[in-house]
Amino acid sequence: MNAADRKAIVLMKSWGKPSRRLTIALSAATVVMLAAGGTIAYAATAPQPAIKTFTPKSANQITNLDVLRQQIRNYYGDPLGTGTFAPDSSYAKEATSVALAGERWLAAHHRVHGKQAIILDVDDTTLATWNYEVASNWAFNPTTNGQFVTGQLFPAVPGMVDLVAKAAKEGYAIFFLTGRPAAQEGATLGNLTMDGIGVDAGYVGPTTLSDGEDGLFTKPAIVDYPAYLKATCASDPNGSCTTIHYKSATRAHIESLGYDIVANFGDQFSDLIGGSADRTFKMPNPNYFLP
């Protein structure tokens, strides 16, 4: 942990709007430490921002935002910001390296008997939204983002199609769990798999669960919450599940049907904390932070 991060305070809770995408520059190690229960020094006076960090004494302690954007473009092998990341970029190498670690883990923990599963987030875990980050200049807007989603414009995250194909071949059930709303389910499935519209990322399709549920979990409207979400999220703001509650309760529901989730893949810490997975894998994403 570096000196700046040492001062950083992050609460992995949302007092604000859970759907807002915010940009921060904390080291992954610090967020992990804090998510694991590190010291929280802020007085809990409402309202609080969703992301808490230290207050710089000097601008020198902050990466200039335009410089940071350029560093991120360079990381994606796209220094001119065309919206297409390069296959030999640092991003592609890092994502592939996580995918390969996942493949090794799954091969080593595969059993002949029992219902084993993997679970994967969608945005920036299986589908890369780099083109949208560039198009939006990192300012998430549900309308313009929806155009990319319904146009099925996102390519696969490097290494992940191969990982999912190998896992399916080994007998793992394949489940996708995304915060995208239920209205985007068809377009999400079409982008992930092969439907001839927009980009077909080439993933093996989701596995139908033993109780007949489809294995692509999108976030329902509150009125449509299944009992396990209602129970878990009753005291969340406006009764709407936080990401952590939505995802962890869904994983617990899947495991209650007899599946062992052997690996959980996500690009946000809110995809990964909350249990119900033997191991988590963090995909790289320097573009936004979802509490």
What does the binding site for Mg ion look like in residue numbers (CB under 5 A)?
121, 123-125, 267
- The whole-angstrom separation of Cα 71 and Cα 136 is 17
Residue closest to Mg ion when measured from CB atoms: 123
CB of 36 to Mg ion, least distance (A): 20
CB of 87 to Mg ion, least distance (A): 21
Half-sphere exposure in the Cβ direction for 204 (13 Å, CA): 21
**Rounded to whole angstroms, what are the CA distances from 31 to 11, 12, 34, 97?**
9, 9, 5, 21
CB of 143 to Mg ion, least distance (A): 19
Q: Decide whether 125 or 152 has the Cβ nearer to Mg ion.
A: 125
Q: Decide whether 125 or 191 has the Cβ nearer to Mg ion.
A: 125
Q: Decide whether 78 or 267 has the Cβ nearer to Mg ion.
A: 267
Q: Decide whether 103 or 267 has the Cβ nearer to Mg ion.
A: 267
CB of 125 to Mg ion, least distance (A): 5
- β-bridge pairing 280-282 and 259-266: parallel
CB of 127 to Mg ion, least distance (A): 9
Q: Decide whether 115 or 242 has the Cβ nearer to Mg ion.
A: 242
Tokens of 122: 């969608």
